Amino acid sequence: VHFIILQEEMEKAGVKLILVTETIDSSDLGKLITYIKGYAAKLEAEKIRERTMRGIKERIKAGRMPSGRRARLYGYTYVPGKGVGEGVRYINEPEAKWVKQIFHWFVNEGLGIDRITYKLRELGIPTPSGKGLWYASEVWKILRNRAYIGETYVFTQTYGEPKTRLSKGTKSKKTGLIRKPREEWIEIPGATPPIIDRDLFEAAQGQLKRNKDRASRNTKQQYLLSGHIRCRK
């Protein structure tokens, strides 16, 4: 459909459209055939998506995580595959040691996220990506991630309109990740062994909330770009 509209607009502008792989029939019949081909391709794409989702759900029922970037997490080694003992995470002791240390610094020693970040840099601890420097956002993600108490969830996010405001006249696209309501998450029991005990984790969540509330109270002035600029790290 979009191709036909584009073709018609180009014809109105006196622009000739040439494709490398096939000829273009601009007659009414040719446009109908193009539409049918496009619709058939759309149906096939939907079938592929359904088969992919069915495969993911079968893995979840078997207690295995969907493979991909999100399966890899600092403190763990992900073993891909469909066999026994595969498709799950195993504790990576050298990294798990620093996950525990981050929680200890934050909860028991009262260090802030920035101070923890600098300590990790000073000690030369490898980052989750294995390169570059530690950033506060990475420490924050570790402190917030429930996988460290053995809870593994999938389908926690979906695509939607970005939170940042678009300039006037710009069309909105569903390019932003939006967190789904908790009741829509799907848990995979046993896919991730715990590194942190629940009491310590919940204590960290309480401290994070207090820090957030304190920061909100201390922000007395609203700046022009407040809430519109976000760090991608």
**pLDDT exceeds 60 at position 167:** no
Which residues face 79 on adjacent strands? 88
pLDDT at 189: 84
Split at pLDDT 50, 70, 90, the class of 208 is very high
Which residues face 76 on adjacent strands? 91
Compute the distance between CA of residue 123 and CA of residue 178 in angstroms, rounded to an integer: 35
Top mean-pLDDT range of 130-134, 179-183, 201-205: 201-205
What does the pLDDT look like over 55-77, one tens digit per residue?
566 666 666 777 666 778 999 99
Compute the distance between CA of residue 71 and CA of residue 89 in angstroms, rounded to an integer: 8
Domain ranges for the chain: 1-61, 153-187
Split at pLDDT 50, 70, 90, the class of 106 is very high
